[in-house]
Structure 1
Amino acid sequence: MRSGFRWRQGAGFASGHGAQGKRIAWPRTFAVKRSGPLRSEHLRFIHEEPRGGVLHCFVLDCSSSMMAGERLALAKGILLALFERARAGRCEVALVCFGGNRADVRFGPAVPRWWSERWIAPVGGGGGTPFQSGIDTAGDLLMTAARRKPVQQRWLWVLSDGRSSDAPSRPVAADQAIFVDFEQEHVSIGRCADLARKWEAQLFDAREVAGIAPS
């Protein structure tokens, strides 16, 4: 499930193998295919921005395990980079943080501004991992957004090391789901990978995603 990716303006991450639900650009596809048989790697797509806009809801694990190896610091750096791309594309974002015994909405939904670092920097970590509560909070936010803007495309991002026994279901209002996995232990429990499979979500390694930092 891990693959190369790029940030596509206005529509989030796209796998290096194409984009689900996008129309095929047949002239460009045939130009690549030439006279050989058509294969999946030949496909080229028409990248269309959703007419109702995009909401990216980020769920950040702030539990004590994310403090090891500066994982939380890496997560906050990734968030700043993603928020900058969302801002450039006029996408809305929301941030849900969970840790200790609670989960709460820290931002949005709104288009992020240049001062994002001022309120992301103070986000701290520690305590337990109320993963279920974090996903439930995000699910409620996405459902409210769906009622407010029915045609808006809703992306759910989960930034976590997966060190939790919770196994939440995918929120029904999430059109797309992405796990950014911060697990670094030699003996991996693979919880993010397991949930990504169950959710039919994309899965990326945090160190891979860190390469999107603004130039």
Structure 2
Amino acid sequence: MGKQRRRALSAEDLRFMRDVPRGGVLHCFVLDCSGSMLAGERLALAKGLLIALFDRASAMRAEAALVCFGGAGADLRFGPAVPRWWNERWLEPVGGGGGTPFAAGVQCATQLLERSARRKPAQQRWVWILTDGRTTDEAARPPHADEIVFVDFEHGTIRLGRCERLATAWGARHLTPEELIG
């Protein structure tokens, strides 16, 4: 047998394949709509970031859900479903103000993840918590979350660091909006 020549790999040899779990993916976004998020236009920044994240979920054919918390409680605003369209007109009516019922937001997301785990046990479930951490509420880590990401919107000279502490306690990732965008 003759010697086979090996050639160097080129760009044409490479193929991009998305690594999608067999059971699909659910991205549950938990948005802080409290009064403190209105300061410095943090809520507006969070809404813009949500549009980009929903676009990513749609491109990956992943399911998404949106839980909003603020004032006196929390509610499910979208999903879980594959977002076919998503734009700022949909987010415009999401207002802000009042207290920060973080525990209520996490509880609403926990219930959604429990239903998802029963319906699609092989599905990978992500929780994205977009908040400035200005709360005294305590909440347990959602047991059916495979991955948790805290997107920390706390800015200013006096930082409380609650998002970072919660992320550490929950074994979650901690990012700023700038790190997520960039």
State the partner residue of 1:201.
172
**Percent identity between the two aligned chains:** 63
State the partner residue of 1:41.
none
SS in 2 for 1:196: helix
- The reply to whether residue 144 of structure 1 matches residue 115 of structure 2 is yes
8 Å contact kept, 2:51–2:86 = no
Structure 2 letter corresponding to 1:59: V
Match of 2:50 among 79, 82, 91: 79
State the partner residue of 1:95.
66
- The reply to whether residue 169 of structure 1 matches residue 143 of structure 2 is no
Across the two proteins, how many residue pairs are aligned to each other?
166
**For the residues of structure 2 that align with 1:116 and 1:95, how far apart are their CA atoms?**
14
**For the residues of structure 1 that align with 2:92 and 2:181, how far apart are their CA atoms?**
17
Q: TM-score, normalised by structure 1?
A: 0.75
Structure 1 letter corresponding to 2:110: G
SS in 2 for 1:159: strand
8 Å contact kept, 1:154–1:175 = yes
**For the residues of structure 2 that align with 1:57 and 1:114, how far apart are their CA atoms?**
17
Could you tell me how far 1:47 is from its partner in structure 2?
6.6
| Runs of 4+ more than 6 Å apart | none
Match of 1:51 among 22, 33, 38: 22
State the partner residue of 2:11.
none
**For the residues of structure 1 that align with 2:43 and 2:134, how far apart are their CA atoms?**
13
SS in 2 for 1:197: helix
Could you tell me how far 1:209 is from its partner in structure 2?
2.0
**For the residues of structure 2 that align with 1:135 and 1:190, how far apart are their CA atoms?**
19
Match of 1:159 among 121, 130, 134: 130
8 Å contact kept, 2:54–2:86 = no
State the partner residue of 1:39.
none
Could you tell me how far 1:169 is from its partner in structure 2?
1.1
Q: TM-score, normalised by structure 2?
A: 0.88
Computing the radius of gyration from Cα coordinates, the structure with the larger value is: 2
Gaps of 5+ in 2: 1-16
State the partner residue of 1:118.
89
State the partner residue of 1:192.
163
**For the residues of structure 2 that align with 1:152 and 1:114, how far apart are their CA atoms?**
22
Could you tell me how far 1:154 is from its partner in structure 2?
0.2
Could you tell me how far 1:150 is from its partner in structure 2?
0.4
8 Å contact kept, 1:167–1:195 = no
Aligned Cα root-mean-square deviation (Å): 1.3
**For the residues of structure 1 that align with 2:164 and 2:98, how far apart are their CA atoms?**
23
**For the residues of structure 2 that align with 1:77 and 1:142, how far apart are their CA atoms?**
24
Could you tell me how far 1:206 is from its partner in structure 2?
1.7
Match of 1:135 among 76, 96, 106: 106
Gaps of 5+ in 1: 1-45
Structure 2 letter corresponding to 1:203: H
